[in-house]
Amino acid sequence: MHPDTEIRRLLDLMPASGRMLTKIVSKPQQSRVIEVPFPGPWNRDARRIQINFSLWQQLPEPQRDLLLLREVSWLLKVRWFKPDLYQGIALAGAIASIAELTQGDAVGVAAAAGVTALAVNRIWREARGTRLQIGADEAALQVAQRRGYSAVAAADHLLNAIASAAELEGRSSQNFVELIRSQQLRSLANRTPVGVPDRVRNEL
């Protein structure tokens, strides 16, 4: 598999919004099959999707498709600047920090910076939380259906891809979020009638 050829194929697979906001790069030294650095608000460049193509090529094409669509969907869901309580608190805290700093009020600066840090931490936890992770899986399945996969087959391929990637990476077990995602995908793939309870799904 030549990385450039596969990258072109994957770009064609992506939704248009993904092609505009992301960049696929070859990362042969990484231990993960596919890895996406957390897209912080300071990063104005295209959001990177890093692939170890020597591991990547060992996955069947449908699994590669669903892994890529899933990471693109997650990246598109991580938004720092949108109308939201915590984004508003973070912005207000940052403005207050600057105002207090110009006035030389150390206590005010510390208080405003603390509020900003709490709000930013909440945003970061939400992006890494179960709700957004499962939401990214479901968004990927919807895109896959527009690319010719059935809903059940897409869920099955993504479920298998999570397990296959862990094996290629030499991990003996999946992490907590992967286990939760896998349970929900088993339900969507009609392997089990039991999905993820709303209480677990909505945890950060």
Helices (H), 79-175: 85-102, 106-128, 130-146, 151-168
pLDDT in tens, 31-48: 999 999 887 665 666 789
Q: What is the pTM of this model?
A: 0.79
- How far is Cα 38 from Cα 46, in angstroms, rounded to an integer? 12
- How far is Cα 70 from Cα 57, in angstroms, rounded to an integer? 17
pLDDT in tens, 176-203: 889 999 999 999 999 988 888 877 776 6
